[in-house]
Amino acid sequence: MTWKQSDITKYKILGKIGSGTYGNVYRAHLQQSEQTTVAVKEIKMEDEKEGFPVTAIREIKILTSLDHPNIVKLLEAITNRHTEKFTERKKHPTKKKGYSMNMYMVFEYVDHDLSGLLQNQTVYFRLHEIKHILQQIVRGLNYLHNTAHIIHRDLKSSNILITNDGTVKIADFGLARQYVPSEYEWFYHPERVHRSVDAATAMYDPRVSHVKRNFTNRVVTLWYRAPELLLGDVCYTCQVDMWSVGCVFAEMLVGKPIFQGFALYSSKQKKKGGGEEEGG
């Protein structure tokens, strides 16, 4: 993977395939090679004076460190000082030109996402196909958790990509964070938590714990969010990803998310000033 200042116009837009909090995603191919199809994520620049979004920089840093067949591959990250945005060449061919710094992430192109397939009335997953998809998701997570020490924090069906030959690719690492395994020894070895226990209550107390790093609990799309996150825990582990995998597994079996009722909780949280913020 390369990160360089380059000319994004070497790619030709074929169509928009999605959008998110931090930008739109387009299907494209190299101008000189129509056989090389890629996915180009155009990063939103809310305030160019503030520089590149820290979320995009974090995602690039994490993706450049990953190499696994079940993790989507980042091919290059491009910063481009250009007279027009990548997507404006078709929309506004006569628009007055002005210089701006834009940022793009170029990924391998994957044909489908699991959410779209589940919503397609003509697609039906047989049990052995569900097992095969789930096995690949778990393989990718095993690599993330035990080799790369990454918590994804936003696993859901729309972030599970699937190629035409059935290969699964975990995508969208905008909320992912790296963790230090030794900081979570208390979780994996509860017999060693005596230094983290409040003497008066005999309960785990993060204030006296050797665990140094907390994360925000406002992560993971609500329908896939683990109970500890819903209850406000900020000292969680990669177990939150496994809860999300369970939700995806159930969604494949029944054809829809199983915890849609949590939308009521979401509306209450927003009234209290909560919501689904990006955090630490």
Calpha distance 158→168 (Å, rounded) = 12
Q: What is the mean predicted confidence (pLDDT) over 132-157?
A: 95
Please list the active-site residues.
154
Within this chain, domains 7-108 and 112-271 share the same CATH topology:
no
| 178-230 tens-digit pLDDT | 887 765 554 555 544 444 444 444 444 444 444 445 555 555 578 888 888 88
* Mean of pLDDT values over 155-172: 95
pLDDT of residue 61: 92
State the burial class of residue 159 (Cβ atoms within 10 Å of its Cβ: 0-12, 13-18, 19+).
Answer: buried
Q: What is the pLDDT of residue 193?
A: 43
- Of the pLDDT bands very low, low, confident and very high (cuts 50, 70, 90), residue 39 is very high
Q: What angle do CA 253, 172, 14 make, to 5 degrees?
A: 100
Most confidently predicted of 1-10, 98-107, 116-125, 265-274? 116-125
**Token digits of residue 241:** 């990803």
pLDDT in tens, 56-97: 888 999 999 999 999 999 999 998 765 455 665 555 444 445
Q: What is the pLDDT of residue 46?
A: 61
128 pLDDT higher than 80: yes
Q: Judge: domain 7-108, CATH 3.30.200.20.
A: yes
> Whole-prediction pTM value?
0.76
The residue extents of the domains of the chain are 7-108, 112-271
pLDDT in tens, 104-114: 999 999 999 99
pLDDT digits (tens, 9 = 90+) for 230-259: 887 777 788 889 999 999 999 999 998 888
CATH class belonging to 112-271: mainly alpha
Q: How far is CA 119 from CA 122, 136, 251, 254, 259, in A?
A: 9, 21, 11, 11, 16
R_g over Cα of the chain: 21
pLDDT of 6: 67
Dist CA 116 CA 106 (whole Å): 21
4 is in an annotated binding site: no
pLDDT at 205: 47
